[in-house]
Structure 1
Amino acid sequence: MKYKYIIPYVMCFLFVNQITYTQDLKKAISKIDAYHKELSNSFQKQNSKNFTENDLKNWVITSEHISSTSGVHHLYYRQTYNGIEIYGAEASIHIAPNGNVISKNNGFISSLEEKIVGGKTPSLNPLNAVMAAASISKYKISESLKILDVVDTKNHEFIVSKGGISSSEIPVKLMYQQNKKGEVVLVWNLSIDDLQGQNWFSYRINATTGELVDKIDWQVNCNLGDNHDHNHETENSTSVPSKVYEVVTMEKSLEEYYALLGGSYRVYAMPVESPNHGSRTLVTGVENLTASPFGWHDTNGSPGVEYTFSRGNNVYAYDDIANTNNPGSTANGGGSLNFDFPINTTWSAGNRSLPAAITNLFYWSNIIHDVVYQYGFDEASGNFQQNNYGKGGSQNDYVRAEAQDGVGTCNANFATPADGSLPRMQMFVCNSRDGDLDNAVIVHEYGHGISTRLTGGRLNSGCLSNLEQMGEGWSDYYGLLLTMKTGDTGPASRGIGTWLVGQAGNGPGIREFPYSTNMAINSHTYIRTQTAVAPHGVGSVWAMMLWEMTWGLIDQYGFDTDIYNGTGGNNISLSLVTEALKLQPCSPGFVSGRDAILAADIALYNGANQCIIWDAFAKRGLGFSATQGSTNSNADNIQAFDLPPTSFSAPTSFCVTETIQTGLSGGMPAGGVYSGPGVTDDGNGSTYSFDPFTAGEGSHTIIYISNCGGSASDSTLVTAAPAAPAITNDSFCAGDSVTLTATPNDTNNTIEWYDTANGGNLLFTGNSYTFSPSGTTSVYAEEVLSPIPVSVTVSHSNSQDIGNGSVACGAGNGAHTTSSYWRVFNLSGDFGITDDFNILQVQFGLQSISANFTATVRLHSLSGALNTSNLTLLASQTVLITPSNNGTVVSVPISVAIPAGTIVVMEVFTPAQSGRLFMMGSNPNGETSSSYISAVDCSINQPSSLASIGFPNIHYVMNIIGEGFVSNPCTGLRAEATAMADNVPPIAIAQDFTVFLDTNGQATVSSSNINNGSSDNCGIASMAVSPNFFNCAAIGNQVVTLTVTDTQGNINTAQANVTVLDNIMPSIGTLSNQTITGNINCQATLANYTSLISATDNCGTPTITQNPLAGTLITGTTTITLTATDASGNFNTTTFDVIIEDTTNPTINAIADQTVNGDASCQGSVADYTSLAVVSD
């Protein structure tokens, strides 16, 4: 089983058990970032309380929802330190559907880091903490303590066993809390519901020492018949894990199912208050199908009832006579749901009429649920239902309505844990009267559940424990409203709880006075809370104020008997009060409660009822000048009966070209009429529209007449947009800077430079803009009108804004040496003054003096946290003050120029008089119900007791008056100025060139071969020639292009002729000499020898020729020349010899025999006969 702690942990942006249906989740996610920014911005404006950045950025969301009646998005936050939540440090912000902030509340601790004291990790474990709490309350632990469940390790959240001291398991969670000394210490937060049912203590046990830091009894026991008080409790109970039900799609209409869902109940039906005020009637069809779509006896969201007795989705009614806090008997209506039982209104132990009493309690508990559902107390906001039917919030928290509870008598209570945990109502008997028949008391008790769940968010049940909280008042109020009837009047006397305490129907009731708008019957005013018993006496004063307001609304709108859908003053009152509960801060006081109702009126009715609301509260001392002081005290307030002065603040200026401005406001109090040039009142008492064009150029007065009486006016300036300024362009080379200049039409105006023609980014402010563009760039010059001077009074009208500093005395003469009391003016954050500001004078309220004295005003600038080391003196002025200034606002001329964004600290003090130093400021304890003069005895250097000194209307005044400036709304036309990158092409000059092919038949040229002195003003980045490669096919004259590119990318070209030549001769082989046989004539024909040899060339195959040519008749030896010639005429030769060989013998003719005469010796001589021979070959 899982358990839910009373203050559950919720991490940022994770809405655990808070948004259970997709539509709301998407809405939340889409808006949450903007809201968180608004949270920080809004809370930072309260820097006068010395908040640091870390103070405001560390928080968790505890709950959020969108109001079903107003559409306001309510978000609730808790401050953290090192991820651990700080008990009681609560904040909230409330955003209207149009995005406007309706209300914001900051209860965070300022300068948190400085206030952390003690260990940052617990020395005690959860069981030690429970034992320490038991010891403090003298509970005897009779069962062993053990941890049943670790709910969350990261956030140190545990469930501890009952230990014989608690009726339910004990939730324990590690937190921080600020103690009465202002220190923030680590604590274990736990609660124990004692077995006797007399107390439900919530403890904060120091996690280091085990000492008690804080203890609150959520159950206050008072006897109605004695002090006319009663008890109420805030319970931290066990919860069942929530099942998220889908929205049921029904086959039939609700009306068709109605007969199956509805019951019959014999009761003192609404608006009958008790048996003293009317009889019982048998009612049927009383279930409201908007609030209880499946009737009062359904829990599963399907047609048909789950229970035929007094139990259903909204309430489980039973008796607890035995005081066991467990269900006893119920009222059983059977299958027909007929709850018609006899009754004896004179109660006795022997004649309790339990079925009838339980039926009445069941009926009224459901009636309250259904009625307040119409006014915004629904599932998403944390109402009480077993099944939320997929509509948001946490479920499993129907009301346990215990009739004739045995825990006490003449009393009643309502226990309200966080959403998702079961609440409990306990009704008692008182002598012979049964509280279950006193319907105003039933509503009253249920009202505690309403106010607890709605104040501070549905998951925070600890926001109504401060002394000035008005819980009892809201409960009386709901009891009164739901029992109003036709014929009632405001001046009539209305007692509350008359039946229970044995009075007649027209009895005075249980409060000091019955409720009546007649001051002679009920004289309550705000000051009564100072001495009234808290919480009931305090609450009754608040209830009287709400009653006064209700009758003011009824006087205006009438009384409507339709409590669900009516439009009467009573309906409006219920809407305002219920919505205001969501808007007010945790631990509210009367002023914050009043302001929440005023804000609710703006959210719900556009402020139509502001005058009625102010009249009612002012009549009872909660007028405009009333102050509540600390809400932890009910003795420090100041009442006032004045109405708010009529005021109006118009927008400073518009541009004549702007469209009609709608939804403008500014008149206070709301509910008036606006008029003036170009003004159209919207007729809703809240807003108007303004047409600058219709009004025309110039200053126009807008008048606001309040329905409360009085009027106010303010002026709006309509200006004309300036024409585009005159500009000069410029050009540049890459890497250079360029300066563009714009001349405004009016020398009093300035020039702003942007990167786009509309919108865009601001680049520079000034007439000349110098930059280094990477390429051609256009920028846009806009003439900006001079800021409009406005007279401004910066006023802190809340005395809580006075800071408390240290006090020191000088060397025996009472001189002021360190800051004492000051007030912080965050001009930008608090007042929207974002430009320079000239302070001309300051003001402070003077209460009463008996002799002349001087006062010194000092103005400091603040940097960082609010302490003397972060203050820098800007100006100081001393003035003489006389008793004639008593009760007035003292003006002190002081001139100082404040740069934009400066946080100014104003300090007022007097020099020593009679050994004392007097200073204006607030109580050092932070109780700021009135202004104080602090007397410091320099001999002991300690502040003496502080005394309030009256004049409530002026005591809080500390103003700064000066001249501020607001931006002129007119946007001038923009002129385009261009930084032109150089666009002049370079000068390209080319020359012809001859190139020879290489042995591979290739050749290239470069830009250097072709360039003949190209140039550029910004420099040449590159040159290229094309084509730059040649082969044999390109032999001859080729045209090439020289491309020249400068540093800006500009290009120019020139052409040239490239002559491609081949001067490489071919290569040819060789042949050996050839021998051939000649013919008979020794001749031979020369063969073709070119095929016997090869030749190559760099440009193709050369041609081979032979000389002598083939076929030539040759003889003997002939030299042959072979020539290889390429296409370019280049040639090469080789030679060899051809030799003719003769193989035919020659022929010779025969010569006749010759006779030779011999000589004497018979010898003769042979003659030469060769000449005789004929030889051929």
Structure 2
Amino acid sequence: MVSFNKFFTSVLLAIAYASATSAFAVPADSKHATHRTRLVGRGLKVEAFHPSSSYETFGTGIDHPLSKRADTSIEDASVSFVESHLKIKSSAIKFRTGYTAESAKHAYVSQVHDGIPFANAVANIAYNHDDKVVAFGSSFVKPTSIASSTPSVSLEAAIAKAEEALDGKFNSHPATLEYLAKDDGSVVLTHVIQIQNESAGTWYQAFVDAHSGELVSIVDFVSQASYLVLPITKEILTQGFETLTDPQDLTASSLGWHNSGSGATTTTSGNNVLSYKGSTSSTTSQSSSPLNFIYPQSPSLSPTTTANVNAARVNAFYIGNTIHDFSYRYGFTESAFNFQTNNFGKGGAQNDRVTISVQDSAGTNNADFSTPPDGQSGHMRMFLWTFTSPQRDGALENDIVVHEYTHGITNRMTGGGSGRCLQTTESGGMGEGWSDAMAEWTEHTSSSVPDYVMGQYVINDSGGIRTHPYSTSTSVNPLRYSSIKTLNEVHNIGEVWANMLHNVYAALVSAHGWSATARTNPNGTEGNVVFLHLFIDALALQPCNPTFVSARDAWIQADVNRYGGANKCLLWNAWASRGLGVGASGFTDSSAVPAGC
């Protein structure tokens, strides 16, 4: 979500997420990490609970119980490790999914009872290529009571309840039966159903108690906000459109941007992205053959004029595909749960390209991204902004489009493609921060790291839509880990995380230099290349619903996995400079770093 914290955040629905460590009652002051309260439907208040995640990293790695077996599968190794590490029976563990990335192998498992998985009790295990465990996160629970595994409320009745409560309709995505841990230590059996209201732009996963019929929890898939194109290195259209020839990266998009393997298109529709206005058939066609999309934008005219609508659809299509391509290079691939219609047999679920609705009629002065599980399309909505005359189009401010797409990356890669693992206030805040940091990463054009401002074009204000520019200067941006004590809204929390990442980026570039080819060549040693590798690698390593502390630890472990820990002290010093040092906990600052740093 590209919300704006300078103006009326109070009127925007704050989507709260949190990270977790046990299934028992949680003190009110720590609820950022385990709860999120939402107003849904016709004013219904739902407080979702997510068991807190324990998280451990192991540097160069430790053995799992089956290490000495030459033919052990990742499924067997993962179940065995969880069984041994948590001292639970293998019958309570179910392997869900996994994949092999460049610097690590990743496995995701669920807690089960009577063969039924827990929705919010999950674990993730990472292995290095020596088959040693390097990271382990778990939100497994020890229930005080658990409901019968045979439902007494029918699926049909549960659907009716969810539709009424959430003011939407069941979207026919297959419903499931899953257990759900509650914060009082009990576990309920639930029907899990997807409910959408397309006109309102809502998309929920509802958990209806299969014995009482009560709506007990939700997952909100929407992260709101917040050819002749504006190149992705530019933030705002006043910097000038350019005609780019063949910008696709054929390593990431093997058939280009207009072909999914079943024939080529001549519109803003392809394997990775569909950009449209109003209906998915309302795309922009090539202006001339072959595949020229040259539609000059007229800033003095309304954005709804035909020429400006075409310019918006083309720019959104270009930006969406460009993000797909460079994030693919760094590890957001088919097997890592990315967005493609055709996965070409490379793993993961397909038929889930990103759909981008430009000038969406459902709102103004905002943007959002919905991230359902792997195999269902991510959906971006770009709105018009009303602070100027004529109005301005969010699809023509590149940092907003990048911000929204990045919600798809972070929601898919955290937790193994479920779309469920940035659902607490704290982790949801980090989701906003990652999105701002990715937008900034795309716009650097040299080793200089100036202060960075988000969203200045759409509101016609050089100060942008955040409370402070992102900066290495504490006088320009004073936000620290302890600042979160006074914050309870995800965008404000996100600013703290994004500013920490700004400082990490600056330190890496200062130490290692800057590469002009980072988007297409991830093999360099320059600081901006290292930054994006650690950014993407850490997403897969961190636990479901991470905290600032566990996300920091995932970055440190990612550096061990990929670079042998070469950046350990640099990273620790950057985190510690903003209060996230060795002893940081409970939003109390620490400036300490490990011995030797």
TM-score tier, shorter chain, comes to 0.7 to 0.9
1:379 aligns with 2:413: no
1:546 aligns with 2:546: no
**Using the alignment, how far apart are the partners of 2:577 and 2:447 within structure 1?**
24
Q: Residue 127 of structure 2 aligns with which residue? A: 95
The 8 Å contact of residues 384 and 395 in structure 1, kept in 2 or not, is answered as yes
**Using the alignment, how far apart are the partners of 2:71 and 2:587 within structure 1?**
38
**Residues 295 and 329 of structure 1, relative CA distance in 2, 3 Å threshold:** closer
List per-residue Cα deviations over 1:1143-1172 (Å, max 9, x = no partner). xxxxxxxxxxxxxxxxxxxxxxxxxxxxxx
Q: Residue 351 of structure 1 aligns with which residue? A: 305
Match of 1:185 among 178, 185, 188: 188
**Structure with bigger RCO (C-alpha 8 Å, 6+ apart):** 2
**Residues 36 and 85 of structure 1, relative CA distance in 2, 3 Å threshold:** closer
In structure 2, give the amino acid aligned to 1:339. Answer: F
CA displacement at 1:487 relative to structure 2: 5.8
More strand by share: 1
Q: Residue 642 of structure 1 aligns with which residue? A: 592
So what's the TM-score if we normalise by structure 2? 0.83
Match of 1:522 among 477, 481, 494: 477
1:498 aligns with 2:498: no
**Using the alignment, how far apart are the partners of 2:74 and 2:116 within structure 1?**
26
**Using the alignment, how far apart are the partners of 1:437 and 1:167 within structure 2?**
33
**Using the alignment, how far apart are the partners of 2:359 and 2:549 within structure 1?**
38
The 8 Å contact of residues 414 and 426 in structure 1, kept in 2 or not, is answered as yes
List per-residue Cα deviations over 1:165-184 (Å, max 9, x = no partner). 42733542211111232211
Q: Residue 480 of structure 1 aligns with which residue? A: 440
CA displacement at 1:572 relative to structure 2: 0.5
CA displacement at 1:29 relative to structure 2: 6.5
CA displacement at 1:32 relative to structure 2: 3.5
1:268 aligns with 2:230: yes
Single out whichever of 78-87 and 573-582 deviates more from structure 2.
78-87
User: RMSD in angstroms over aligned alpha carbons?
Assistant: 2.0
The 8 Å contact of residues 167 and 195 in structure 1, kept in 2 or not, is answered as no
- 1:321-332 matches, within 5 Å, as 326-332=280-286
The 8 Å contact of residues 412 and 445 in structure 1, kept in 2 or not, is answered as yes
Single out whichever of 191-200 and 615-624 deviates more from structure 2.
191-200
1:407 aligns with 2:367: no
**Residues 169 and 36 of structure 1, relative CA distance in 2, 3 Å threshold:** closer
In structure 2, give the amino acid aligned to 1:271. Answer: T
Q: Residue 76 of structure 2 aligns with which residue? A: 33
Percent identity between the aligned chains?
35
List per-residue Cα deviations over 1:743-768 (Å, max 9, x = no partner). xxxxxxxxxxxxxxxxxxxxxxxxxx
- 1:920-931 matches, within 5 Å, as none
The 8 Å contact of residues 267 and 360 in structure 1, kept in 2 or not, is answered as yes
CA displacement at 1:195 relative to structure 2: 4.4
List per-residue Cα deviations over 1:372-415 (Å, max 9, x = no partner). 11110111101111111221111111111111111111111111
**Using the alignment, how far apart are the partners of 2:206 and 2:268 within structure 1?**
35
**Using the alignment, how far apart are the partners of 1:204 and 1:358 within structure 2?**
36
List per-residue Cα deviations over 1:175-233 (Å, max 9, x = no partner). 11112322111111222112432432332211111122223443366xxxxxxxx15xx
**Using the alignment, how far apart are the partners of 1:474 and 1:201 within structure 2?**
22
**Residues 207 and 471 of structure 1, relative CA distance in 2, 3 Å threshold:** same
In structure 2, give the amino acid aligned to 1:95. Answer: Y
Q: The residue matched to 1:409 in structure 2 has which SS?
A: coil
CA displacement at 1:559 relative to structure 2: 1.4
CA displacement at 1:359 relative to structure 2: 0.9
Q: The residue matched to 1:339 in structure 2 has which SS?
A: coil
**Using the alignment, how far apart are the partners of 1:286 and 1:170 within structure 2?**
35
Q: Residue 404 of structure 2 aligns with which residue? A: 445
**Using the alignment, how far apart are the partners of 2:305 and 2:71 within structure 1?**
54
In structure 2, give the amino acid aligned to 1:332. Answer: Q
The 8 Å contact of residues 331 and 354 in structure 1, kept in 2 or not, is answered as no
Q: The residue matched to 1:93 in structure 2 has which SS?
A: strand
In structure 1, give the amino acid aligned to 2:305. Answer: N
List per-residue Cα deviations over 1:834-884 (Å, max 9, x = no partner). xxxxxxxxxxxxxxxxxxxxxxxxxxxxxxxxxxxxxxxxxxxxxxxxxxx
1:298 aligns with 2:290: no
**Residues 329 and 76 of structure 1, relative CA distance in 2, 3 Å threshold:** same
Q: Residue 106 of structure 1 aligns with which residue? A: 138
The 8 Å contact of residues 369 and 379 in structure 2, kept in 1 or not, is answered as yes
The 8 Å contact of residues 319 and 330 in structure 1, kept in 2 or not, is answered as no
Q: Residue 620 of structure 1 aligns with which residue? A: 578
Q: The residue matched to 2:286 in structure 1 has which SS?
A: coil
Structure 2 unaligned residues grouped into runs of 5+? 1-69
Q: The residue matched to 1:500 in structure 2 has which SS?
A: helix
1:285 aligns with 2:246: yes
The 8 Å contact of residues 303 and 309 in structure 2, kept in 1 or not, is answered as no
**Using the alignment, how far apart are the partners of 2:396 and 2:271 within structure 1?**
22
1:62 aligns with 2:96: yes
Q: The residue matched to 2:494 in structure 1 has which SS?
A: helix
In structure 2, give the amino acid aligned to 1:442. Answer: V
- 1:804-843 matches, within 5 Å, as none
Higher Cα Rg: structure 1 or 2?
1
Q: The residue matched to 1:482 in structure 2 has which SS?
A: helix
**Using the alignment, how far apart are the partners of 1:63 and 1:502 within structure 2?**
45
In structure 2, give the amino acid aligned to 1:297. Answer: H
1:338 aligns with 2:292: yes
Q: Residue 562 of structure 1 aligns with which residue? A: 517
So what's the TM-score if we normalise by structure 1? 0.43
Single out whichever of 310-319 and 195-204 deviates more from structure 2.
195-204
Q: Residue 117 of structure 2 aligns with which residue? A: 85
1:465 aligns with 2:423: yes
**Residues 105 and 133 of structure 1, relative CA distance in 2, 3 Å threshold:** same
The 8 Å contact of residues 43 and 106 in structure 1, kept in 2 or not, is answered as no
**Residues 199 and 511 of structure 1, relative CA distance in 2, 3 Å threshold:** same
Aligned residues: 518
List per-residue Cα deviations over 1:256-294 (Å, max 9, x = no partner). xxxxxxxxx111112111114x21111113211210122
CA displacement at 1:517 relative to structure 2: 0.7
The 8 Å contact of residues 60 and 80 in structure 1, kept in 2 or not, is answered as yes
Q: The residue matched to 2:193 in structure 1 has which SS?
A: strand
The 8 Å contact of residues 159 and 170 in structure 2, kept in 1 or not, is answered as no
Structure 1 unaligned residues grouped into runs of 5+? 1-26, 45-52, 140-164, 222-229, 232-264, 628-635, 647-705, 709-1177
**Using the alignment, how far apart are the partners of 2:489 and 2:301 within structure 1?**
31
List per-residue Cα deviations over 1:529-588 (Å, max 9, x = no partner). 222242111111111111110110000011111122143211110000100000000011
**Using the alignment, how far apart are the partners of 2:164 and 2:395 within structure 1?**
37
1:532 aligns with 2:562: no
Q: Residue 151 of structure 2 aligns with which residue? A: 122
Q: The residue matched to 1:290 in structure 2 has which SS?
A: coil
**Residues 136 and 393 of structure 1, relative CA distance in 2, 3 Å threshold:** closer
CA displacement at 1:350 relative to structure 2: 5.0
**Using the alignment, how far apart are the partners of 1:310 and 1:551 within structure 2?**
36
**Using the alignment, how far apart are the partners of 2:240 and 2:526 within structure 1?**
26
